[in-house]
C-alpha cells in the first residue's frame, strides 16, 4: 500500500475546506440524493461525497457505507485529489500497487473505485464524489460524464451552503445590534420622560408664579417651552411604541367586540365635538391579538384626526372577513397624502405632510409601527389617497386557525 502524498497547495486547500463550515455537519437530503443517484447511474454498491481533511477522510453523504470517516492514509480519495484535473478510476484495486494492501481492499469493500475531485471556485480539490463496488468494474463514457456533472452539483451545493451560513451570521449580528439599539432606545426614552415632565410642570409653575409680571412675549416663550416639551414627549412615546411592538405582537388572541375596542380608543384620544367616528354597524366579534389591533387603530385614527384640515373631521371604520382574514378600512376626509409620498409613507422617520392640524411636525414613527404590527399578525396594509379630499388605509389580520 502506498500512503497518499500531499498536494503542493495543501495548507491553502485545508483552509478552503474548513472555510465551508461543513465538516462534521448533519446529513442533508440534497447531498444524500446525489449519492443515491450516482450509485444508481453507475450501477455500484456504494457512493460517497468525501472531504479530505488534514488526517482523515470525512463523508458528507454515504450511500450504503456506514462509516462516517476513515484515516487519510487509507483513503483512495486522498490519491484522487493529487491530480484534480482527472478522475481517478481503479478497475481492480487488488492489481494496483497503491491499493492492493489497503485494509478496504483486503476486506473486499473496495475493489472498483471511481472518484471525481470536487474543485471549488479557487481551484482547490476538497474531496471527491466517488462510486465503489466490491467487484471489478468499468464505467461507460456516459456514466463518467454523469458522475462529473453530479460532482459539479455537489460543489454548487457547498457554495450555496457557505453563502447561507454567511447570511445567517450576518443576520445574527444584525439581530444582536438591533436588540442593542432597542435596549438603548428603551432606556433613553424612559430616562427622558421624567425630565420632560419636570420641564412641563416647572414651566407651568413659573408662569403661574410670575403671572402678574409677564408680558405677552414672555408668556409666548413659556408656551413654546411647554409645547416643545409635549412634542418631545410624543416623540419618545412613539419610539417606545415602535420598539415595544415586537413584544406586543406576541400577545395571545382573545375574544372581544370590535366597537368596544374602538370606543376605548376614542376615549383615549379625547374625541372633540368637531370629530365624528362611524363604527361598523354590525359590531363584529373578533378573536385576535387585541393589544396589537388597539395600537394599530390608535395610530391610524390618531393620524386621521391630526392630519385633517376640515372644520368637521369625519372618520369611517369598516370591517369584513373571510375564512382566513379580518379586513379593516379607515377612511378620513383629511389633508390627503401627496403622490410622491405614497410609496414611502410606511418607512421609519418618513412623514407625508409638513405639519399637522395644530401646526406641529410629525416624527414618521407611527405608520412604520402600524406596518410592523400588521405584518407580524400575518396581514398586509396599503394606502390610497386623494390630496385635499381623503385618505384610505386598508389592512388585514390573519385569523386564528383552529388545529
Q: pLDDT (tens digit, 9 = 90+) per residue, 211-247? A: 777 778 777 777 777 777 766 666 566 666 666 666 6
Helix axes 141-209, 29-42, angle to 10 degrees: 170
For 192-210, how does the pLDDT look when each residue is reduced to its tens digit (9 = 90+)?
A: 666 777 777 877 787 777 7
Q: What is the 3-state secondary structure (H, E, C) of 305-367?
A: HHCCCCCCEEEEEEEEECCCEEEEEEEECCCCCCHHHHHHCCCCCCCCCCCCCCCCCCCCCHH
Count of alpha carbons within 13 angstroms of residue 141, beta-carbon side? 0
For 251-302, how does the pLDDT look when each residue is reduced to its tens digit (9 = 90+)?
A: 788 899 999 999 988 888 888 889 999 999 999 999 999 988 988 998 899 8
Does residue 66 contact residue 149 with C-beta atoms inside 8 Å? no
Span 77-89, mean pLDDT? 95
Residue ranges, comma separated, of all CATH 3.30.565.10 domains in the chain are 249-403
CATH of domain 249-403: 3.30.565.10
pTM: 0.54
Helix (H, G, I), strand (E, B) or coil at 255: strand
Whole-number pLDDT of residue 206: 78
Span 18-39, mean pLDDT? 95
The larger pLDDT score, comparing residue 210 to residue 351, is at: 210
Give percent of the chain with pLDDT exceeding 90.
Answer: 60
Residue ranges, comma separated, of all CATH 3.30.450.40 domains in the chain are 10-169
Task: Say how far apart CA 324 and CA 329 lie, in whole Å.
Answer: 17
CATH class entry, domain 10-169: alpha beta
For 140-169, how does the pLDDT look when each residue is reduced to its tens digit (9 = 90+)?
A: 999 999 999 999 999 999 999 999 988 888
Q: Which of 316, 324, 304, 302 is nearest to 377 (CA)?
A: 324
Neighbours of 269 (CB within 10 A): 16
For 44-60, how does the pLDDT look when each residue is reduced to its tens digit (9 = 90+)?
A: 999 999 999 999 999 99
**Residue 327 scores a pLDDT above 90:** yes
Q: Mean pLDDT in the chain?
A: 88
Give percent of the chain with pLDDT exceeding 70.
Answer: 86
Amino acid at each position: 500500500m502506498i500512503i497518499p502524498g500531499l498536494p503542493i497547495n495543501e495548507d491553502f486547500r485545508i483552509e478552503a475546506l474548513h472555510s465551508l463550515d461543513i465538516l462534521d455537519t448533519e446529513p442533508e437530503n440534497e447531498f444524500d440524493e446525489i449519492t443515491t443517484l450516482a450509485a444508481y447511474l453507475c450501477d455500484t454498491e456504494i457512493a460517497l461525497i468525501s472531504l479530505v481533511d488534514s488526517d482523515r477522510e470525512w463523508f458528507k453523504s454515504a450511500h450504503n457505507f456506514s462509516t462516517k470517516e476513515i484515516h487519510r492514509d487509507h483513503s483512495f480519495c486522498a490519491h484522487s485529489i493529487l491530480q484534480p484535473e482527472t478522475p481517478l478510476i481503479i478497475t481492480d484495486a487488488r492489481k494496483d500497487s497503491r491499493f492492493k494492501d489497503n485494509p478496504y481492499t483486503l476486506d473486499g469493500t473496495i475493489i472498483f473505485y471511481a472518484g471525481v475531485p470536487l474543485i471549488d471556485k479557487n481551484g482547490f480539490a476538497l474531496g471527491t464524489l466517488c462510486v465503489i463496488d466490491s467487484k471489478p468494474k468499468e464505467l461507460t463514457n456516459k456514466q463518467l460524464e454523469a458522475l462529473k456533472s453530479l460532482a459539479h452539483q455537489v460543489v454548487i451545493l457547498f457554495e450555496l451552503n457557505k453563502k447561507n451560513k454567511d447570511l445567517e451570521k450576518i443576520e445574527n449580528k444584525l439581530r444582536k445590534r438591533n436588540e442593542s439599539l432597542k435596549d438603548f432606545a428603551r432606556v433613553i426614552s424612559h430616562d427622558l420622560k421624567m425630565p420632560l415632565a419636570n420641564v412641563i410642570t416647572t414651566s407651568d409653575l413659573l408662569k403661574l408664579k410670575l403671572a402678574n409680571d409677564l408680558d405677552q412675549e414672555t408668556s409666548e416663550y413659556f408656551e413654546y417651552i411647554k409645547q416643545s416639551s409635549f412634542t418631545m414627549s410624543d416623540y419618545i412615546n412613539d419610539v417606545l411604541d415602535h420598539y415595544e411592538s415586537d413584544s406586543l405582537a406576541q400577545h395571545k388572541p382573545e375574544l372581544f367586540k370590535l366597537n368596544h375596542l374602538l370606543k376605548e380608543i376614542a376615549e383615549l384620544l379625547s374625541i372633540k365635538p368637531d370629530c365624528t367616528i362611524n363604527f361598523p354597524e354590525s359590531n363584529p366579534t373578533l378573536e385576535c391579538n387585541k393589544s396589537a389591533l388597539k395600537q394599530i387603530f390608535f395610530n391610524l385614527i390618531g393620524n386621521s384626526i391630526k392630519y385633517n384640515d376640515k372644520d368637521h373631521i369625519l372618520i369611517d371604520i369598516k370591517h369584513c372577513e373571510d375564512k382566513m382574514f379580518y379586513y379593516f378600512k379607515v377612511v378620513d376626509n383629511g389633508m390627503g397624502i401627496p403622490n410622491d409620498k405614497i410609496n414611502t409613507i410606511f418607512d421609519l422617520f418618513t412623514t407625508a405632510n409638513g405639519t399637522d392640524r395644530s401646526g406641529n411636525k410629525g416624527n414618521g414613527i407611527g405608520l412604520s409601527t402600524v406596518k410592523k404590527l400588521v405584518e407580524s399578525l400575518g396581514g398586509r396594509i396599503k394606502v390610497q389617497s386623494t390630496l385635499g379630499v381623503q385618505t384610505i388605509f386598508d389592512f388585514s389580520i390573519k385569523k386564528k386557525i383552529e388545529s
